[in-house]
Structure 1
Amino acid sequence: MGIAPNEYRNFYFGTGIEYFFVSQFYLMGYEAYTTNPDIGYDLIVTNQCRMKYKGAERINYNIQVKSSIRIKDYTRFYVPVDDFNMLKNNKEAVLICSYHKPTMQADPCSFVYDRTGDLSMDKAIDEGAMATFIDNYHNYSIDDAERMFKFVNFDVQYFWLNSEHLKRLEEEKFFVKYKDSKGRLYMILSVKFVKEEVGEQFLLVKKDGNDEHSIVPDYMVFEMRSVYYLLNENRSKTELQEGKLFIYDNPVYN
């Protein structure tokens, strides 16, 4: 089956990020495969080689990857309701939420002698226009977006959620149910990025906004930002498997 003209860009973005995670798992010494046919998961991750040569206990993770382009200080992830229910009811399932911060750049024209300075001026105008209209990126058609923006690179960041995390986040109203114009149901997770002294943090945003009287913000612990802590033994593994994921889950805040 071919790719529809209005879907090809999303297809390449989605496939590209899936293979990004295939490479992440392989770099850590685990096997990762894209699924075919479509069974609701994007990747299957195993440790067959570690079992054979190191006597490791079997692991098998069913991974679904959701990706979003990050614009400014927010982004959202849309998970079809059926997929969400499948993920939260499977102890071997993991949702990876990946966000891409695009790097925009006008053509540098590195080998052109700009005697009059016209190229430098055009470059500045081009970059200024892209910066001005980037907030409306998601409202543009594919043709308009490709004509207006030159994304030369993507800074890929992510966090992962196991089935216990998904159950908890649904119960605590971080996931919000949404019906689109075609009647399709989704669970939406909203993410806000904030700058702190320790570096950039991100908040998961509740339906009614985060509790301003919370002892600490709903920042995720660092372990959620690397699949290393999903795959390997670590001091937080028991708590992660139980559904803990926020800084305030640390007993020091209780």
Structure 2
Amino acid sequence: MEQLTLVDRLSHLSTELTAAERENLKFLLSMAAGGLLSGHAQAVPEQLREVALATAQRSLPRLHGTERPVFDTGVVFLGRGSFFSDEDIAALDGESRRYRERAERFHDHYVASGAPLARELALSTQVNDFLVSQVGPVLPTYKANYLYYDEPGLGIDPHVDKDEFSLNVLTMLEHVPDTRHSELILYPPEQDAIRVHLAPGESLVFFADSVTHQRTRTVAGEAIRLVSFGYRTIGSV
């Protein structure tokens, strides 16, 4: 009989869990991966740390069975997307500026939700058709958030997102000054980290609930504005 790995066992376990229980398991795996990536287990032998990190990272995508297409890095698209026109980007930029005063602090960054234009574009045919062409059928989650990192020390430690952001369309609206310090980093299983530097108007589409990622901390004078749309995949390609 073939011996099951821990990754196989966790994958099988996830099929027997409720959605809430699976979210809890994902949270624990995410915390484990984030802690290892942040260097919180230095007393553990390096080889054991590497095995533990690989197990956590490889398990995360497999918690969802066929709801997630098989992927390599978790990056679906990176660049200037055809789903947003120049007018769309300009309108999102303006709305995000207006909504900054409504943003509330969420851990170590600020979030503004419920903006009408962002929500309208999140439900647009252009975005939906593009995602379907890349990963198969998706469901919009009506989550459209403006994100602000405009004070020193803001950022997000390594983590994965909830199911409602299983597929994240993240678009840069502003990052000043030209000399940047904060960056978005993705940690695909057993691969080199992917450092993402988006120019204004560029988008990253990735499996945010399955690939550990973080935004490193801002420094004095640095300001970042993004818009983030969440979707759920509903089957393999």
User: Scaled by the length of structure 1, what TM-score is found?
Assistant: 0.21
User: Scaled by the length of structure 2, what TM-score is found?
Assistant: 0.22
Q: Which has the higher contact order (CA 8 A, sep 6+)?
A: 2
